[in-house]
Amino acid sequence: MGGVPAPGAALRLRGRTFPPGRPVVMAVVNRTADSFYPGARHDDDAAALDAVARAAEEGADIVDIGGVRAGRGDPVDAAEEIRRVVPLVGEVRSRHPELLVSVDTWRSDVAREAARAGADLLNDTWSGHDPRLVEVAAAEGVGVVCSHTGGAVPRTDPFRVTYRAGGDGRPAPADPRDAVVADVVATLRAAAARAVSLGVDPAAVLVDPTHDFGKNTWHSLHLVRRTEALVGLGHPVLLALSRKDFVGETLDLPVDERLEGTLAATAVAAWLGARVFRAHDVRATRRTLDMVAAVRGDAPPVRAVRGLA
């Protein structure tokens, strides 16, 4: 019987270090009116700031602020994205100095303004579509998320995506399902190496397999069960599993009924060493991760008196 998997790599942002075994919750705060999950829609700064305050109270370590819906929707240019995101970043930094601030953008112009307003992390969910974004992270001294989309471009949905075993000269994996894992690992390894070569702190380079983006449900499920392959890259692994379509399709549930499925996948990935979890349901995610950490032996119970008193 196997032992406990190794903990993931340490995470360091703005001089704050989360050691291996300390789970990190990243709260989703979308400054949009059309996010796929209604609970994450905040169409003005006041509503978004209320959401940040709730996330902090419920145990978030990071808030991830986004100004553009990930999927298809109304066009949002860089100027409008900056208008939605950058003042909010500055206000969050002022009101919640204990929180780390991430900005979900694929545009280097938005990333630069956000970093100068106080963002600590640039969450590039579209896999370097704008190759200058990682250069901004290095120049501004902030962290960056390296992601995988299988070649998909921003705001598009996957269609009959396939990953070829042994592609790009790599040997074919023993398990054909691992073709997607091999592609993800190769892409993330190269992206992380570029970020480090440009001067980003290796502990501030996060890797995200980016479930649902450029993937079908089978791909996303297999990436959860193979989380250890991502941990092996040596960078903190970020997973954005919350209420995603692969959860909904697996259980045949609409977006507002996907919490339990999300938490099940979260627990499995945390056991296998993933470090950061992007979540709509902060309190439930915090409790799930803290329980997994205790079962793994990474953290003691907060209170343990049964059988002792």
* Average pLDDT of span 31-38: 86
Task: Please identify which residue in the block is written with the tokens 């692969």.
Answer: 246
pLDDT of residue 292: 98
pTM for the whole structure: 0.94
pLDDT exceeds 90 at position 41 = no
pLDDT of residue 71: 81
3 domain-assigned: no
Q: Which domain holds residue 140?
A: 21-296
16 domain-assigned: no
pLDDT exceeds 60 at position 198 = yes
4 domain-assigned: no
5 domain-assigned: no
6 domain-assigned: no
* Average pLDDT of span 172-179: 84
Q: How confident is the model at residue 15 (pLDDT cuts 50, 70, 90)?
A: very high
* Average pLDDT of span 66-84: 92
pLDDT exceeds 90 at position 66 = yes
pLDDT of residue 51: 97
* Average pLDDT in the chain: 95
**Which residue did the predictor score with more confidence, 213 or 173?**
213
Give the number of domains in the chain.
Answer: 1
| CATH number of the domain within which 133 lies | 3.20.20.20
